[in-house]
Amino acid sequence: MGRLNVELCGIPLDNPIIPASGTFGYGYEFAELYDINILGTFSFKGTTKDPRFGNPTPRIAECPQGMINAVGLQNPGVEKVISEELPKLSKCFAKKVMANVSGFSVEDYAYTCQRLNGCEQIGWFEVNISCPNVHGGGMSFGTSPEAAAEVTRAVKNVTEKPVIIKLSPNVTDITEIAKACADAGADGISLINTLLGMRIDLRTKKPIIANKMGGFSGSAVFPVALRMVYQVSKAVSIPVIGMGGVSSAEDVVEMMLAGATAVGIGAANLVDPFICRDIINDLPGVMEKYGIENLRDIIGRA
């Protein structure tokens, strides 16, 4: 194995760098800029059972060291992803891809994963449980250990591929949710999703985003994400994908020391579309600087 190699849920990666869902489209858009096969893998745009137009505009608000978004899971729906998006991706990406799946009921999650399960390109499912449970009063699946476990079991029942549960940071005890998912059979945990944030336009005296609130991401959230990755990696024995504010090779090393097996890069892709390529290229120099022989040796060493 090479110095950058890691293994995620039994599948080898050339390096731990994974562009995060919602910031890398379905991959082929970035393939016009550079060879995306340099990546460990990537998590494609959040996909739901039915097509979604998303939330009304404006959907984006800038913040110091970050941004707030309320895109609303805009996507063409699982059938179009299978018939159109994945065939396009296959022409420019030779590795297994991570399928990010969202839903508004347990049945939604199970249906979408079952439809995608037959796609050979998909190596892992990343199940986003930050969605509102329409049968549970609108509370996010990720705020309840019982609801998180129910989704985990439902998806595990329809696929033999590794199931990674993506957790919301908007909870009191992140380890309680992580342990419930692990006990229900999750193969990995992905965190953090965005924090809940808001901006107000001083001229109009109204919220900038039409949805009033949205997901806060960017480098400002890195210390919070790092803390949660550290806590979860100590609480469960399954791999963790750490993300949240990562924007440099040094940040990647820090995330891995906190316990991340692989590292997601999100908002930074929207600022610099070459950031993942550049971080991969920078990693050997940073490893040399800090006396790191192999990345897999530092996972959870903090």
Active site residues: 131
Q: How far apart are CA 18 and CA 89, in angstroms?
A: 16
DSSP-based helix, strand, coil % in the chain, nearest 5: 35, 20, 45
Residue 222: which residues within 8 A CB-CB, separation 6 or more? Answer: 244, 245, 246, 247, 251
Strand partners, 6: 13
Please answer whether residues 241 and 259 qualify as being in contact, where contact means their C-beta atoms are separated by less than 8 angstroms: no
Structure tokens at 206: 């109204």
Helix residue spans in the chain (DSSP H) = 28-31, 78-80, 86-90, 106-116, 145-156, 174-183, 222-235, 249-258, 268-271, 275-289
Q: Tokens 């899971």 map to which residue?
A: 73
